[in-house]
Amino acid sequence: MYDLIIIGAGPAGITASVYAARKRINLLVITNDIGGQAALSGDIENYTGYQFISGPELAQKFEEHMRQYKIPVKENEEVVEVKKQGEKILVKTNKEEYEARSVIIASGKRSRELGVPGEKEFKNKGLTYCATCDGPLFSGKDVAVIGGGNSALDAALQLIKIAKRVYVINNTSGLGGDAIMRSKVEEAENVTILNNSKVTAILGEKMVKAIKINKDGQDETLSLEGVFVEAGLIPNSDFVKDVERNVWGEIKIDSRNQTSNAGIFAAGDVTHISEKQIIIAAGEGSKACLSAFKYLARHNFR
């Protein structure tokens, strides 16, 4: 029986774990990977204390901080169910079952799929969901970034330095996201922005060769060799049924990160907080841990 189980090891989960270790809480971290979306980010210029750092570097700093406290971490383990049973909480994974007196869900989000013909067939065959991971494989090639928000802008800024031509396929009338990032993308000489455009199919043989798009009602085919899907994110919250979620599947929390079920807290991008930023997720992780600590104390678990 753990006092606290933290699900996820991105900025929110790692920060929560550090706070928990410093409070001498008997805890366990369960995660698919270390770093979360932060590890997939490109250049980061808005994390306080670092004027410039890459996503993988910042994720490594987070992990190093967590490892200093010798926190027990179950890696490559996927949580499939969180269920309240009286005053204890059952956490079931694809490998084991664990019990805790409190839980912090910091499982983040995952990439939204396009749902078009050819997407599944060409996944990892020219189609990817991570520019940071796979961008270098497309040096000197024509590629497309699907999306128009910060994630798409980040991917485009990474690919500008690598690819020959970058098409940004955006289904609205103009790019969104951070103004500075947007300006850099719009000013790049090797970028073509296609607004009011929607991908309808991924084409190829063994590898991606082209995409079909519909722009302003007209069908077009673009010859290229790489597709980077940045069409938004879906919260990883399916495994917890007995907490309140909004229409997008984000877990609803109050100002203390408490969910609708006592003892189950949530933090970071998996929640309904209005902004999804690394620094905000980290702060929310610390809040969630402090709230869990007070919960444990009130219930004489500490």
CATH of the domain at 205: 3.50.50.60
Q: State the Cα angle at 158 between 155 and 161, rounded to 5°.
A: 140
Tokens standing for residue 195 = 């607004």
| For residues 254-270, average pLDDT | 97
Predicted local confidence at residue 301, as pLDDT: 67
Are residue 120 and residue 154 in the same domain, yes or no?
Answer: yes
- Same domain for 217 and 261, yes or no, is no
| 289 in catalytic set | no
pLDDT band at 170 (very low <50, low <70, confident <90, very high): very high
Determine the pLDDT at residue 302: 58
Closest CA to 259 of 273, 245, 277, 278: 245
State whether 20 and 41 are in the same domain: yes
What is the pTM for the complete model shown?
0.84
**Per annotation, catalytic residue among 33, 43, 134, 178:** 134
pLDDT of residue 33: 92
Q: Active site residue: 3, 33, 43, 133, which one? A: 133
Confidence at residue 241, expressed as pLDDT on a 0 to 100 scale:
87
Q: Of 229, 252, 283, which residue is a domain's last? A: 229
d(CA 208, CA 30): 36
Domain that holds residue 282: 2-110+233-298
Q: Which of 33, 43, 130, 178 is catalytic?
A: 130
N- to C-terminal Cα distance for the chain?
13
For residue 19, what pLDDT is reported?
A: 98
Q: In this prediction, what percent of the chain has a pLDDT beyond 70?
A: 99
β-pairing, 73-74 with 53-54?
unpaired
Q: Report the chain's C-alpha Rg in angstroms.
A: 21
Single residue among 213, 229, 245 that ends a domain in this structure: 229
Instruction: With a cut of 80, say whether residue 141 has pLDDT above it.
Output: yes
178 in the same domain as 121: yes
The phi and psi torsions of 166 (rounded to 5 degrees) equal: -120, 115
Q: Of the candidates 181, 200, 229, which is a domain's last residue?
A: 229
Average predicted confidence (pLDDT) for the chain? 94
Q: How far apart are CA 143 and CA 229, in angstroms?
A: 11
Q: Check whether 216 has a pLDDT greater than 70.
A: yes
The pLDDT, as a whole number, for residue 128 is 93
Number of residues that this document lists for the chain: 302
Task: In whole angstroms, give the CA distance from residue 87 to residue 93.
Answer: 20
Identify whether residues 224 and 250 lie together within a single domain.
no
Higher-confidence position of 104 and 177: 104
